[in-house]
Amino acid sequence: MLRYLTAGESHGPKLTGIVEGLPSGLTLSKLEIDRALQDRQKGPGRGGRMKIEQDEVVITAGVRGEVTTGAPVALEVRNRDWANWESVMTSGKDVDWESKKVIAPRPGHADLTGTLKYRMEIRNVLERASARETAIRVAVGNLSRQLLTDLGVEIRGRVISVGAVDLQWKNTAQEWERVFQSEWKVGDVEGEQRLNEQLSEARRLGESLGGILEIQVLNLPAGLGSYVQWDRKLDGRLAHAILSVQAMKGVSFGLGFETAKRFGSEVHDPIVYHSGEGYKRNQNNAGGIEGGMTNGEPVIVQVAMKPIPTLYHPLQTVNLETKAEVQASIERSDICAVPAALTVLEHVIAWEIAQAVLEKFPSDTMYELKRAWQEYLEYLKAQ
């Protein structure tokens, strides 16, 4: 079983992840993990925190000579900003409780509900609820992404829209190349200029921006996931993982919500057969998943991200001590983190796909996994 836990606060000394279930013999590149962490920090609209942090991973267990041993892998991402918060966030008894105290919960954040649930002050809630936690999830997810890359699986993503700006898209190789070069992760050059203008307006108004993102997983065989129990369906597991990421509010696959507006004959993907290749679909409205299982076509997921709840023109809230009407507190934050969220989602999805792979194939070692993977691909082509 592939599983992980994370720990750490936004302004604590570090974020920690422990991963269990990786096969032995997987060659890991620390550089690739660091690149992913740095990609998570980029994009227009990021806040001042990203000028402080220069994220890189520290691998403290489970890897020797850049190769996994089969034992649990332990990872750390250290918070440089800890130096400015040590007196506030120390685990010792001499805590400065007052200097960073928050008493005005932000609408749209975990502040108030978390305070009511755990009966403690907002600072303790927001430190763990913060999207800073996604840094360690990217590091963890990159382990599984490197495993998938070894099997020939490719994961890529793009931004579909930000705020009120929809981007043009024809799904060409040239557009994808532009996505990989764009700080907005878009293939529409003219649309990128409109995004910059919208960002400037949001900053002027003290607002924040959300968007819609798409992630694609290529070169997966049919048969990952299962229909036999509700919690083994791959699309359900992907949706669960995606919605666990801060600010994500909706998930769809393939044609998504458009399927509700069409006749069945306009939605479902006809099956064809090619000798030497096996069964195929001649379109991909299903987004690569049928009956909770991959069907051999690319897995295509769209995700809706809400605007970040910290506003520099804050909304009405209530002072938790006096119960008076006040403006919500302002924590240092981003105006827009949509391109950065794409990196997070790619790695969260990589984890779920890798988990499905390791459930289907023998995986104590990479040797066993690769051999079983190749035999299964040959079986599918022969059908």
Binding residues: 40, 46, 128-130, 246-247, 291, 306-310, 332
Token pair, residue 332, equals 């240092």
Q: Which residues define the annotated binding site for NADP(+)?
A: 40, 46
């660091």: which residue's tokens? 34
Burial class (CB in 10 A: 0-12, 13-18, 19+), 98: exposed
Q: Which residues define the annotated binding site for FMN?
A: 128-130, 246-247, 291, 306-310, 332
How many Å apart are CA 349 and CA 338, to the nearest integer?
16
| Amino acid sitting at position 303 | V
Nearest to residue 264, comparing CAs of 289, 295, 285, 236? 285
CB 18 within 8 A of CB 310: no
Token pair, residue 146, equals 């490197």
How many Å apart are CA 155 and CA 139, to the nearest integer?
16
How many Å apart are CA 127 and CA 133, to the nearest integer?
9
How many Å apart are CA 316 and CA 329, to the nearest integer?
10
User: What phi, psi does 243 have (nearest 5°)?
Assistant: -75, -10
CB 283 within 8 A of CB 214: no
Question: Per residue in 62-96, is it b (16+ CB within 10 Å) or e — as a string?
Answer: bbeeeebebebbebbbbbebbeebeebbeeeeeee
DSSP state of 184: T
